[in-house]
């Protein structure tokens, strides 16, 4: 059974990480999220759940306006050709549905199958915003706290400049 929002919040608490979560109507796209979120401080982000032709799984996390070239990204991150992961794999590894992809889903990747790539420009933000395992809320977290959370899930994220200027 995947972790719940309560499980996620308990993990934050056990790590001493302060977050703020705001509920809203479900948002399936960046444009829908912009319309729903109101004025929430910090960088707003998108997440790309990808698989390469060798079967390796990747999570690229970046600011919502980042343009990630999926043809150029493999050379930068050390992968083979990338395609979007199937919903079944997304649920198996991150425990979330399409439209709810989030680095917080790493709490469910107990087998450490996902390689985490954090876009360098995003990591310059003090506060970052992601769905707390479902797309009907937004959770604000400090960028350094995001790193601590990801590491607590057994992943060592790589910070890479991927976004086109």
How would residue 27 be classed by pLDDT, with cut points 50, 70 and 90? confident
Residue 87 has pLDDT above 90, yes or no: yes
How would residue 164 be classed by pLDDT, with cut points 50, 70 and 90? low
| CA dihedral of 35, 36, 39, 44, whole degrees rounded to 10 | -80
Domains of the chain as residue ranges with CATH: 5-160 (3.90.960.10)
Question: Alpha-carbon distance 62 to 73, whole Å?
Answer: 13
Give the mean model confidence (pLDDT) for residues 22-43: 75
Give the mean model confidence (pLDDT) for residues 32-57: 85
Residue with token string 């985490």: 116
pLDDT at residue number 25 = 74
pTM: 0.92
Give the mean model confidence (pLDDT) for residues 53-58: 95
Residue 165 has pLDDT above 60, yes or no: no
Question: Alpha-carbon distance 9 to 12, whole Å?
Answer: 5
Question: Is pLDDT larger for residue 99 or for residue 150?
Answer: 150
Out of 24-33, 36-45, 100-109, 118-127, least confident range: 24-33
């Amino acid at each position: 059974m995947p972790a719940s929002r309560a499980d996620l919040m308990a993990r934050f608490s056990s790590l001493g990480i302060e977050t703020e979560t705001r509920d809203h109507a479900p948002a399936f796209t960046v444009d829908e999220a912009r319309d729903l979120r109101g004025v929430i401080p910090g960088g707003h982000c998108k997440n790309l759940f990808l698989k390469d032709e060798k079967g390796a799984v990747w999570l690229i996390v970046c600011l919502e306006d980042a343009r990630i070239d999926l043809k150029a990204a493999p050379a930068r991150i050390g992968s083979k050709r990338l395609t979007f992961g199937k919903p079944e794999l997304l649920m198996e590894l991150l425990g979330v549905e399409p439209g709810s992809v989030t680095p917080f889903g790493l709490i469910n990747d107990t087998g450490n199958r996902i390689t985490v790539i954090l876009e360098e420009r995003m990591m310059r933000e003090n506060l970052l915003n992601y769905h707390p395992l479902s797309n009907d809320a937004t959770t604000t977290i400090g960028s350094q706290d995001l790193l601590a959370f990801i590491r607590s899930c057994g992943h060592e994220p790589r910070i890479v400049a991927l976004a086109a200027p």
